[in-house]
A and B are shown apart, each in its own frame.
Chain A
Amino acid sequence: MSIELKDVTYVYMPKTPYERVALDKVNLTIEEGSFTAIAGHTGSGKSTLVQHLNGLLVPSAGEVLVDGVNLLGKDKAAKIKAWHARQQVGMVFQYAETQLFEETVEKDIAFGPQNQGLDEAEVQERVREAMELVGLSYKDYKDVSPFALSGGQMRRVAIAGVLAMRPKYLVLDEPAAGLDPRGREELMSTIQKLHKKWNLTIVFVSHSMEDIARLADNLLVMQAGKLRAAGTTAEIFADAQLLQETGLEPPQIMQIMQRLQKAGLPVDSSAITPEAGLQSLREVFHVK
């Protein structure tokens, strides 16, 4: 099972003077169970791309398949199938906390499953489950106004609202932007847990090479509406020329290690996480 994009092209405001090709013949596959990051310069097409993954945007050309089902159903039967396929893909937007609107955390999270037509008991079960998944105690927070929470907690409520619909794929657009270091750490750990413990397939857009290196297995690099490169995080970060041409830079630890290597130290310059870097430094300096 997977999400597949085949020759997807998307044109904003076609046939007007403002016409702009935001996606240009993009082909990619996101396998179920994978953890994929999308990086690229502002305006490279990242957000346009993720909005195709659950049919919020419809390709100008090409097709999007979720578990083999084309999201653009032609007849009535195909449309129903497409609707079900779309439900498999949950989407968390940038600054998702701005979408909260209900009086209590419970009501806000219940909004999605209620609209799916589930009965009361099932909805409550879903809310409880989703809150536990994002690390908010149901008992303590269900009756709290979402607007009384911290920024990081509000964002987790917004994610819970998506999880309550039990998607198989979770797509997040810059999930940690604007959070303080602790909020960021908690949120990224939550996402990691959703992947490891609950087997959710994760796709996230990020400007933080540190977060990408720490969490993702695969990395897609967008440039000027095209999928410029796809590979494992280690492969992509090792390609200095690619990074430079696409306006990205390797994680900080890798930059440090590369500079040390240039200076003649036998360190592991392929380390992309602080832990791996520290390990290599310990060996080189014979400590611990």
Chain B
Amino acid sequence: MAFIEVNNLTHIYGKGTEQEFCALKDVSFTIEEGEFVAILGANGSGKSTLARHLNGLLQPTEGECMINGLDTKKPEDIWAIRRQVGMVFQNPDNQLIAGVVEDDVAFGPENLGMEPEKIRQQVTEALRAVGMEEFRKFAPHLLSGGQKQRAAIAGALAMDTRCLILDESTAMLDPQGRREVMGTVEHLHEERGLTLICITHFMEEAAKADKILVMEKGQLVQQGRPQEIFADAPRLHKLGLDVPLAVELAWNLRKDGLSLPQDILRNDDLVAALEACYVH
């Protein structure tokens, strides 16, 4: 059994009304525990609708979402699911609710009815894991965007989440904030085996994933390793997407007749390949 199993998921907004809109159509895939998965797709392709099914914020119109063997359609399982799958949204100002960072991080564990001593311990550990201990007593509005997002991540960690969904969580951040947030979640993924699902328009972020899912008009049109997905640049361009710069450059140079390996994804790969290729 995979950690996340989505079977024939269809979601229709406003079913039976004039505004009826089919946002997801017959989507199936699995995600293993500890995997890093990126979801790509143009605006309106159904990425966020899909993500909201993975912790039961939305219910399938048809099909099912199984999280660690639990069905998101069963109300009695919903809290167990949300505890395991945490979500970080796009706007850092929309998800911190308490007056001080530590209260915000403690909100989840408190609602789970943890012992106060245990809560303190969970909060301390979660803040340490995202490198935010020194901001423990800060009011959220005094934090930078990247710090706010890290505080939101800590809130999920304090509930012992096993999976984090980042729904364009870096879209509103400056380059430094983006590095902070991605560095934090990549570290958690590598050190603790946290399952990571990352919806993004930044292809450089997606290139680091184990697997990429590509959405188009509510359908899952492609899935595979980044090397496979980015190999077909023209197809991605047609979907309104992009490829990482290193892939684009390698693709152009190969077309001109330079012999470069096929699996170039990141700047590191390209620099190494070009170095090896150059005759001094």
Contact = CB atoms under 8 A, between A and B. Distances in A.
B277 A285 contact: yes
Interface stretch (B6-14, B99-107, B119-127, B243-251): B243-251
Contacts of A179: 43, 201
Contact of A180 (B90, B241, B267): B241
A260 interface: yes
A285 B242 CA distance: 26
B168 A178 contact: yes
Contacts of B270: 256
Interface string A254-288: 01100110011100000000100110011011011
Contact of A264 (B44, B90, B280): B280
B226 interface: no
Contacts, number: 98
Given A180-B201, A274-B245, A285-B253, A248 B144 contact: no
Given A182-B42, A247-B176, A265-B275, A252 B256 contact: no
B172 A282 contact: no
B200 to A, nearest CB: 10
Interface in B232-263: 240-242, 245-246, 248-249, 252-253, 256-258
A287 B241 contact: no
Chain B CB within 10 A, most for which of A182, A209, A252: A182
Contact of A181 (B44, B172, B201, B277): B201
Contact of A150 (B43, B252, B271, B274): B43
A92 interface: no
A103 to B, nearest CB: 16
Contacts of A177: 171-172
Interface residues on A, range: 35 or more
Given A150-B43, A259-B271, A260-B275, A182 B241 contact: yes
A228 interface: no
B217 to A, nearest CB: 12
Given A178-B171, A180-B42, A263-B271, A42 B249 contact: no
B140 interface: no
B258 A287 contact: yes
Nearest to A282: B256
Contact of B245 (A180, A253, A281): A253
B18 to A, nearest CB: 13
B242 A181 contact: yes
A135 interface: no
Contacts of A42: 144-145, 173-174, 176-177
Task: Name the 3 nearest CB pairs between A and B, nearest first.
Answer: A182-B240, A287-B256, A181-B242
17 contacts: A177-B171, A178-B90, A180-B43, A180-B240, A181-B240, A183-B43, A207-B174, A207-B175, A252-B267, A256-B245, A256-B267, A256-B271, A263-B275, A265-B274, A274-B249, A285-B258, A287-B258
Interface of B: 41-44, 90, 144-145, 168, 171-177, 201, 203-204, 240-242, 245-246, 248-249, 252-253, 256-258, 267, 270-271, 274-275, 277-278, 280
Given A181-B241, A247-B175, 8 more contacts: A41-B174, A42-B173, A150-B43, A178-B168, A207-B174, A255-B267, A260-B271, A285-B277
